[in-house]
Amino acid sequence: MNRKSKRIGARQALICTLSALMTVVASGQTPSAVLPDDKAVEKRVNALLDRMTLEEKIGQLSQLFLFGPSKQVDDALAKGQLGSLLFVTDPARINSLQRIAVEKSRLHIPLIFGFDVIHGFRTIFPVPIAMAASWDPSMVSAAQAIAAKEASSVGINWTFAPMVDIARDPRWGRIVEGAGEDPWLGSAMAAAQVRGFQGEYIGSPDHVLACMKHFAGYGAAEGGRDYDASNISETLLWNVYLRPFHAAVEAGVGSAMSAYMDLNDVPATGNRWLLHDVLRGDWRFQGFVVSDANAVKSLVVHGFAKDLPDAAVLALDAGVDMEMAIGTTAYSQNLAAAISSGKVTVQQIEEADRAVLGMKVRLGLFEHPYVDEARAARALATPEHRTAARVAAERSAVLLRNEGRLLPLGKTAYAKIAVVGPLADSQVDTLGSWAFNEDLTETVTVLAGLRNKAGSQAQLTFAPGVEISRKFPSPFAQLSRSKPPAPWTPEQAKDELRKAVDLAGSSDLTILVLGETQQMSGESASRESLALPGNEEQLLEAVAATGKPVVLVLLNGRPLDIRWAAQHIPAILEAWYPGTQGGNAIANLLFGDAVPGGKLPVTWPRDSGQVPIYYAHNTTQGPESQGKRYWDEESTPLYPFGYGLSYTTFTFSNLHVSQPQFRIGQTAEVTADVENTGPSTADEVPQIYIHQQYGSTSRPVRELKGFERITLAAHEKKTVHFSLGSKELSYWSAAKKAWVEEPARFDVWVGADSQATLHGSFTITQ
C-alpha cells in the first residue's frame, strides 16, 4: 500500500469512528424519558380544556416573535393567553419567560420555544442542500441530532425544520434550505432530518420537535421569485412536491408549517383540501400545523380573505392550529368574536388546542419547563460537535472537474500559493444563510483552513480581488452578526483586482474562492441571473490568463453559471456553504486527506435561460433532438443530477434483475457490481433509475428509486442491492385519479448519476 492509500485509509477509519460518535451524540446523554401513552395524553389535555376559559384556549393558538423586552408579552403570559414564543435563545431569558407562564398564570401551562435551527445551532453544519449532496441520510440525521442537542440545552423545544420543498428552479433563493429537485432523495433527507431532530420519539431527551415546511408547493414559485404563486399540475403535486412531506409524516414529524403562497389559486394557509383532506385525512397526520410568519394575516393580501377577522376564520377552518405572527395574531384579536357570531365553534378551537397541548405534554414541558443554565454552557462547548461538522462538510462537497488530476494537491508541490476571492476569508459567508446563534469566532474560513493545512510547507498569500453585494439589500441583514465593510471606491476596486491578478501571476498555484455571500441565498434571496456575482467572472478569467494552475472553490447555495470555468479551469470543487469547520474540510479535500464523494442533488444548468431544467422530464416529440431545443445554446445540463467525481475511478457492471417478469404487488431485486478501479480508498454512490415505457399517463424518462453511499478500497468490488416493489413502481395517475401500479415494460439503470448507461429491463403483468 502506498503512502497516499495509507493516509486515505486512515481517514476512512476516522470517518467510521465519527459515525459511532455521532450515534452516541444522537442518542442523548440523559436517561430516557417515559414515552407518553396516547390515552394518557388525551386525558390530561381534556382535563385542562375543561378548566380553560375561552381566552386561554385561544391564547394557546398564538405564537409571537420576541426580540427584546415586551410588557405586552409578559402580561399575555401571566394571563395564560400565549402558547409559544420564537427567537429567544438565551437560557436565562427563556427561564424568566417560562416562569411567568408556569408560575403566574392560572393553569400553569408552559410555553413552547421555537427557533430556526436549520443546519446547526452553535455548531453550524453545511447548509441543507449541501448535506443532501452527501447522499448520506445517516450522516444528515446525526448532524441534526447534534443541532437538536445544542438547541435543547438552552431551552429551545421546537425547530422550524426540515424544509422539504422540492425546488427545480435554482433562481429561487430557498433552494439552499432543501434537498434539491428529486422526490426520492428529498424524501430520504426529510425522514433523516425528522429522526435526527426528534430522536426515537417526540420528547426524547436532548431532542426537539421538528416542523416540516412549507406545506406545500412553495418551491415551485413562479419565476423562482420568493413568495410568488405556485401553479402545479395534479401529477407533479402528488408525484413530486408532496412526496417528501409524506415521508416526513411517515417518519413521525410532530408539526407542519403552512406555506405563504397561493397553491393553484388557493393560499396554502387557507387551503382546507391541503391541510385537512390530505394532511390529516389521507396521511393521518397527528401533529399540529403552525402558519408561516404573518401568513394568516396575508390571506387578506392574497385577496382570499375579506379582512383580518375573515382571515382568522378561514385559516382555523382550513386546519391551521397555531398562528405565527409579529406583534399580534389575527387569532387572538378575532376568534372570540367569530365564536359569538357563529362563524367558528368552540369545538374547533378545542381541536386545535388538543393538538398543541398534546405536543407540550409529549415534550415533557409540564414536568420539566425550565432549562439547566449551567448545563447549556457545557453542551455548547463540545469539540466532538466541531469534528462532526468538519466530516459533514467533507462528505457534502462535490468535485465537478479535475482535468489532468490537478487534485489532490501535493503538500510540498507548491512553494507559493495564492488564495484569491471575496469569500476566501469571510467567516459569515462560510456559514451560509439561516445561521443566527453561531460563535462567529469559531468559524474556519477557507484561507484559515489552508493555512492550518499548509503550515510552514508553503507560503500562502491572500487577496480578495473583488467585492460582491446584493443590488437590493436583504430584509434579514439586521439579523447578521457581521456587518459589511464600507464599499470600495472605483479606484480601490481597480487596485484590488490588479493586486489579486499580480499575486496569482507570481505564485505557483491559485486557489480561487468565488460564489455568493450569505445574504445572496435563502429567504427573500431569489436571483434573475445565475451568473457569478459582481466582477467575479472578470477576476476568474484574469487569474486564469496568468497561465498558472487554478483551483476554483465555490461557496454558494445554488448552481451558478460557470460555463467558462468548466472549459478553462482544471479543477472545480463545489463546497456549498460548508459551515463552522468549512475551511478545514476544504483544505482536507484539496490536499487529499479527504476524498470528495458528494453528488449533485440538482441538475446544474448552463445558464438561467434553461430553467426549469431537471432530469426527470417526460419524453416528448423528437426525443432525438432533446439536447438541441434551443438554437443558441445546448439544452442539456452542464452537469447532470447525481453527478460527482472522485480522486479514484469506479466501474459498474453485471446488472441483474431477479425476476425479468413479475406481477403487480410483487417485488424484484436488482443487483449490480461496483468496482474501485483506481489507486485509493474512496466513496461512490450507486443510484438506480427506472422508466415506465407506457401506461395511463406519460412517465418521466428516468426516476431515481434508490441509492447507497459505499466506501471501496483500491480495486475492491462490491455488489449493491436494490428492491423494486409497489413503493417504487406506483404513481399518481391523473387519468385515473388514483395511485396505480400498472402492467408495463420498464427500463432500469444503475450507475453513478442520472445519465447511467448500465441498463436492464423487466415487465410487470396484471
What are the catalytic residues? 292
Whether residue 146 contacts residue 203, with contact meaning beta carbons closer than 8 Å, is answered with no
Whether residue 503 contacts residue 411, with contact meaning beta carbons closer than 8 Å, is answered with no
Whether residue 209 contacts residue 112, with contact meaning beta carbons closer than 8 Å, is answered with yes
Q: How far is CA 700 from CA 37, 182, 240, 657, in A?
A: 44, 12, 11, 21
In angstroms, the CA 712 to CA 554 distance is 27
**Is residue 688 within a helix (H) or strand (E), and if so which, with residue range?**
strand 687-692
For residue 278 the three cell numbers come to 390530505
Contacts 24+ apart (CB under 8 A), 405-408: 405/647, 406/549, 406/551, 406/570, 406/571, 407/551, 407/571, 407/573, 407/589, 407/590, 407/592, 407/647, 408/589, 408/590, 408/591, 408/592, 408/647
Whether residue 119 contacts residue 125, with contact meaning beta carbons closer than 8 Å, is answered with yes
Q: How far is CA 322 from the centre of its chain?
A: 24
Cβ density class 695-717: b for 16+ within 10 Å, e for less: bebebbbbbbbbbbbbbbbbeee
Whether residue 395 contacts residue 581, with contact meaning beta carbons closer than 8 Å, is answered with no
End-to-end CA distance of the chain: 54
> Is 678 strand, coil or helix?
coil
Nearest CA to 201 out of 152, 254, 159, 154 is that of 254
Place of cell 424544509: 163
Strands (E), 232-386: 255-258, 262-263, 266-267, 288-291, 323-325
- Annotate 484-520 with DSSP letters as a single string: PPPPPPHHHHHHHHHHHHHHHHTSSEEEEEEE--GGG
